[in-house]
Amino acid sequence: MDEFKTIGKSVEKIDSISLATGEEKYVDDFPLDNPLHLALLYSPHAHAGIVRIDTTEAESMEGVVSILHHGNTPDKLHTTAGQGFPEPSPYDSRIFDKKMRFVGDRVALVAAETIEIAREAAKKIEVEYKLLEPLFDSERAMDADAPRLHGDDAFAPIPVKYDPAHNLAAEVEMSFGDLEAGFREADLIFDNTFYTPYASHCAIEPHAAFARFDERGRLVIYTATQVPFHARRIVGRTLDIPIGQIRVVKPRIGGGFGGKQEVFLEQLVALVTWRTKRPSKIILSREEVFANARTRHPMRTRLKAGAKSDGEITTIELDCLMNTGAYGSHALTVLSNAGAKVLPLLNKVKNVHFIGRSVYTNLPIGGAYRGYGATQSYSAYNQTIDMVARAAGVDLLEFFKKWTIKKGETSEVFRVLGEGKEGVAQIIHSCKLDECIDRGAEAIDWYAKRGRRIEVAPNIVKGVGVACSMQGSGIPKVDMGAASMKMNEDGSFNLYIGATDIGTGSDTIMAQIAAEVLGITPDRFIVLSSDTDLTPFDVGAYASSTTYISGQAVRKCAMKVAEQIKEVAAEMLDLPIEGLFLDNGRVIDDVSRKAVTLDDVCYYAFYTSNQRQIAAGASHFATESPPPFIAQFAEVNVDIRTGRVELIKFVSAVDCGQPLNPRLAEGQVEGAVVNGLSYALWEEYIYDKNGRMTNPSFWDYKIYTAADLPEMATIIVGSYEETGPFGAKSIGEIAINGPIPAIGNAIFDATGVRVFEAPYTSERVWRRLKEEGVTD
């Protein structure tokens, strides 16, 4: 695909210098005229009813302006999940509730002249609780005698199974083939249960929002969000404010990873400002981000597989129990993806059953998190495949190459399993997973290290492991993105997109796509994204959708603009439009080689004859969701005496279709990998016996720093996806799927011991080594 001029080039991210010099503004960087500062009071109990709330003393404090709680706020049930409408997540949340469902649930909000006064006043609110039996064990959640979290009024807004009486936030089931027959055919049965823990997104910018009125009395909300249009809708519907009275602006965002696909602060600033007529703002502390915002849903994954002695898998039975915590944000869709993004990979398996359940517990709230269920489930899937290949005496790489889905093939799973409804059948148009496997294997030197248990020092043994995965590119027949564009006299263009750049570089990618169509350089575009007053709609930054969905909208929009430019040029040159093409800032006639510049075209259109604005808009939704593919390799040294896992090298080889901007694509992979590495080795929520998180800080919840990195290699294996913009598929999420299983498989390769519970801390690995008699 060498004919591209801009696509495939590592164009510098358009905001990188302004970010690196500290010029760009995030939510908390905008000056506000005399704002109110907001502080939340949280429940100290995991499960309790509020019997009485007395704000008298708090309200009497000088500087306290307003206190909100369940007694004086709208009690409309909604979901905080920033998804399309009606959301596939249950309506089980209120702005404030009288029932507390986890340590950290919201009791009240104080609006005051300073943040110090607001925090002090929050402590002075007297609350009398009636304690209820808490539920912490997700395995017990559906028992008849388990404490019940949600009442009968909670409901699912779409027709799916939802049973709050049994703490069931979502259930997904899918089957094809004949499970029993598959097991009968099998010579080997593998039945194992794996665990992945709670985790925090750890975007370095904490959640933040402010609201103010504009000059005409409309409510303006600036928020650190991945979903500005959903935020506008959810605020409007929850507070009964007309959507036309609300403007949501997304400035620069300091990382999201799914954590900001959630609308839970916008209602607060909107309500305070709506009532007090004063600007108001809320910035969460790091502790609040950990304990009160959203998390990765922990999952218990039981995977039972039957295989013939040569390794052919006849049957897969996947049973996922997902803990959604106190509220069911993304409870159905993350769960669905634990099957839908995973089971198609081995598409030759004829008998498949998937059952997933999301259950409520009195623990922090789950939510969207990069990888979105696939990460949890792939941990079990890839380690089971390792077991099968080993039992059959087949090299794991050869196993993957033989049994994974190929170009031109399909999987029944695509058709059967959607998000709260049937899926969408699709054929794979692009897949270079085999090449990813080969190139990754070479980079890690697989055959020199695999199965050799090289003792690099006394009691320290080397192992290598691999994991393969796929993701999607947007949600088919659901996600929509739109763009509009107008031309200026110097041949520059304003590009308005709903797409939400949260640090990913999508503003740059969209400019590259438009530039490719119009035959100019990306710096000719002035990109404005995610302002509900100024840009067209987009569902937002999630589901690996931006490049594939929003990018296609930009491409369509630019093609319309190109047509208009050619029309004007044809008029100017008095030549037929058919022979004209755009290149290097000019419109050229293929035959006569006569040309006009884009500047000339715009001046002519504005001022000379048949005057008009060259401008267009377009939107796009997809009927497919082509998966990117990845092979990821880990090399570890395991200390047999202590269980310490030292990560030596990590290799990712990925097929994301045509990489539109290779450096930014690599950056997506590297960021996801390193997040995944510290999730695999260190990250987890730790609770005391009352359900309080005991490690809500970067001191106690360690994430990787630069000094912790292993040797890293990222290999972009280009393919061409015919349904994507200039051949592109997604890249944002997929690379977080590999670290847990690749490292788990490498630990086994070194020690012969399987560790079923992540993260692979020294203690956990040591306990397993001891259990298996490898160490004493």
Partner 1 sequence: MRGEFRINGAIKECEFAPEAVLAQVLRDNGHTEVKIGCNRGECGACVILLDGELVNSCQVLAATATGREITTVKGVGNLHEPHPIQTALAETGAVQCGFCTPGMVLAAFYLLSRNPDPTEKEIANALDGNLCRCTGYVKIIEGIKLAAERMRANG
201 versus 294: smaller Cβ distance to partner 1: 201
Instruction: Tell me if 622 sits within 8 A of 476, measured CB to CB.
Output: yes
* Pairwise CA distance, residues 169 & 91, whole Å: 10
Tell me phi and psi for residue 62, to 5 degrees. -65, 130
Q: Give me the amino acid identity at 157.
A: P
* Pairwise CA distance, residues 405 & 402, whole Å: 9
Tell me phi and psi for residue 378, to 5 degrees. -60, -25
Contacts of 467 (CB under 8 A, 6+ apart): 378, 382, 631, 632, 737, 738, 739, 740, 741, 742, 745
Q: Which residues inside 653-692 make contact with partner 1, applying CB under 8 A?
A: 663-664, 666-667, 669-675
Nearest alpha-carbon partner for 326 in 525, 71, 150, 195: 150
Question: Least distance to partner 1 from the beta carbon of 21, Å?
Answer: 5
Segment contacting partner 1 (CB under 8 A): 143-151, 253-261, 466-474, 723-731? 253-261
18 binds partner 1 (CB under 8 A): yes
Question: Least distance to partner 1 from the beta carbon of 555, Å?
Answer: 23
15 binds partner 1 (CB under 8 A): yes
Q: For the stretch 242-275, what's the b/e string if a residue is b when 16 or more beta carbons lie within 10 angstroms of its beta carbon?
A: eeeebbbbbbbbbbbbbbbbbbbbbbbbbbbbbb
Query: What is the helix (H) or strand (E) element at residue 170, kind and residue range?
Result: strand 168-176
Question: Least distance to partner 1 from the beta carbon of 104, Å?
Answer: 18
Segment contacting partner 1 (CB under 8 A): 17-25, 419-427, 461-469, 616-624? 17-25
Instruction: Tell me if 196 sits within 8 A of 756, measured CB to CB.
Output: no
CA atoms within 13 A on the CB side of 135: 25
18 versus 608: smaller Cβ distance to partner 1: 18
**# binding residues, partner 1 (CB under 8 A):** 56
Tokens of 181: 């027959």
* Pairwise CA distance, residues 522 & 188, whole Å: 56
Question: Least distance to partner 1 from the beta carbon of 651, Å?
Answer: 12
Contacting residue, 41, 174, 461, 502, with partner 1 by CB under 8 A: 502
29 versus 422: smaller Cβ distance to partner 1: 29
Q: Is 642 helix (H, G, I), strand (E, B) or coil?
A: coil
338 versus 541: smaller Cβ distance to partner 1: 541
Q: Which residues inside 265-294 make contact with partner 1, applying CB under 8 A?
A: 285-286
262 binds partner 1 (CB under 8 A): no
219 versus 673: smaller Cβ distance to partner 1: 673
22 versus 393: smaller Cβ distance to partner 1: 22
699 binds partner 1 (CB under 8 A): yes
541 versus 605: smaller Cβ distance to partner 1: 541
Q: Which residues inside 26-45 make contact with partner 1, applying CB under 8 A?
A: 26, 28-29
* Pairwise CA distance, residues 335 & 371, whole Å: 11
201 binds partner 1 (CB under 8 A): yes
Q: Give me the amino acid identity at 523.
A: D
Per-residue DSSP letter, 189: E
Tokens of 682: 């260190």
703 binds partner 1 (CB under 8 A): yes
Distances (CA, A) of 272 to 144, 195, 282: 41, 41, 11
135 versus 634: smaller Cβ distance to partner 1: 634
Q: Which residues inside 348-387 make contact with partner 1, applying CB under 8 A?
A: none
* Pairwise CA distance, residues 132 & 510, whole Å: 52
382 versus 714: smaller Cβ distance to partner 1: 714
254 binds partner 1 (CB under 8 A): yes
Per-residue DSSP letter, 13: P
Segment contacting partner 1 (CB under 8 A): 321-329, 478-486, 626-634, 702-710? 702-710
Contacting residue, 91, 493, 542, 704, with partner 1 by CB under 8 A: 704
Segment contacting partner 1 (CB under 8 A): 246-254, 355-363, 527-535, 583-591? 246-254
Question: Least distance to partner 1 from the beta carbon of 116, Å?
Answer: 8
Q: Do the bridges between strand 295-296 and strand 219-223 make them parallel or antiparallel, or are there none, so unpaired? A: unpaired
380 versus 673: smaller Cβ distance to partner 1: 673
Per residue, the 3-state secondary structure of 303-358, as one string, reads: EEEEECCCCCEEEEEEEEEEEEECCCCCHHHHHHHHHHCCCCCCCCCCEEEEEEEE
The contact set with partner 1 (CB under 8 A) reads 10, 12-13, 15-26, 28-29, 201-206, 252-255, 257, 285-286, 502-505, 663-664, 666-667, 669-675, 697-699, 703-707, 709, 712, 714
